[in-house]
């Protein structure tokens, strides 16, 4: 789950080893739920990619995308919230974090687009969201993906 353009589909493709989810610079490019299989240390799980969710601006995103994301959330055993580590933490991030916390499901924050170590400090800003688990990743380059999967699979 996450706002548009943070890299959810890039992460989905990285984790499932596929290119099934369309990646692009147009926010809202993933309109349906896309399912894939992620394998890790002899186990596997079903992964769902969704369109971006902005709780604050619900009226501004096509209703269908929000509905799809809601379905995915309802059926999930654990949730990865993805944020763009190169942007400032903003109110919609807090709103989404609270919405996801309310579900009571295990929640993992992936601060994406941390392609180089010099950006690690930027990722630390997202500690302000107050989530228990934070991993700075680069979905594009594959950094720290194993750390993220270790945490997620431990909760499944
Ligand atoms: P989504 O809308 O959340 O599904 O985001 P996408 O996966 O479509 O990615 C949005 C944009 O961010 C694309 O231009 C991606 O190439 C770019 N992007 C995704 N992951 C990374 C990353 O780890 N580093 C950088 N620099 N760009 C990324
Ligand atoms: Mg997408």
Tens of pLDDT, residues 58-111: 545 556 656 777 888 888 999 999 999 999 999 889 988 998 999 999 999 999
Cβ-based neighbours of 17, under 8 Å, separated by 6 or more: none
Q: For ligand 2, a single-atom ion, which residues have Cβ within 5 Å?
A: 8-9, 30
pLDDT value for 110 = 98
Specify if 38 maps to a domain.
yes
> Is residue 56 scored above 60 in pLDDT?
no
- pLDDT class of 54 with cuts at 50, 70, 90: low
Q: Which of 8, 23, 138 to mutate to test the pocket of ligand 1 (most atoms within 8 A of CB)?
A: 23
Summarised one tens digit per residue, pLDDT across range 105-151 is: 999 999 999 999 998 999 999 999 999 999 999 999 999 999 999 99
Strand runs labelled E in the chain: 34-40, 43-49, 79-84, 107-112, 134-136
The CATH number linked to 116 is: 3.40.50.300
Residue 23 CA: nearest ligand 1 atom is 8
Ligand 1: residue whose CA is nearest its atom 18 = 7
> Is residue 29 scored above 60 in pLDDT?
no
Specify if 134 maps to a domain.
yes
Cβ-contact 38, 115 below 8 angstroms: no
pTM: 0.90
Number of domains comprising the chain: 1
Strand pairing partners for 82?
2, 110
Specify if 65 maps to a domain.
yes
Which residues contact ligand 1 via a Cβ below 6 A?
2, 4-10, 23-25, 29-30, 52, 112-113, 115, 138-140
Specify if 2 maps to a domain.
no
Specify if 3 maps to a domain.
no
What is the domain extent for residue 67?
8-154
Ligand 1 center to residue 13 CA distance, Å?
Answer: 11
pLDDT value for 149 = 98
Strand pairing partners for 81?
109
- pLDDT class of 26 with cuts at 50, 70, 90: low
pLDDT value for 95 = 87
For residue 30, which ligand has an atom nearest its CA?
A: 2
């Amino acid at each position: 789950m996450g706002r548009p353009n943070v890299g959810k589909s890039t992460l989905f493709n990285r984790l499932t080893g596929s290119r099934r989810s369309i990646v692009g610079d147009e926010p809202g490019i993933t309109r349906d739920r896309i399912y894939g299989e992620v394998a890790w240390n002899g186990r596997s799980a079903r992964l769902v990619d969704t369109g971006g969710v902005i709780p604050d601006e619900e009226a501004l995103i096509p209703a269908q995308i929000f509905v799809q994301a809601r379905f995915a959330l309802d059926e999930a055993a654990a949730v990865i919230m993805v944020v763009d580590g190169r942007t400032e933490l903003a109110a919609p991030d807090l709103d989404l974090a609270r919405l996801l916390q309310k579900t009571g499901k295990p929640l993992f924050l992936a601060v994406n687009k941390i392609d180089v170590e010099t950006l690690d400090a930027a990722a630390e800003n997202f500690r302000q969201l107050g989530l228990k688990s934070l991993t700075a990743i680069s979905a594009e380059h594959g950094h720290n993906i194993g750390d993220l999967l270790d945490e997620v699979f431990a909760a499944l």
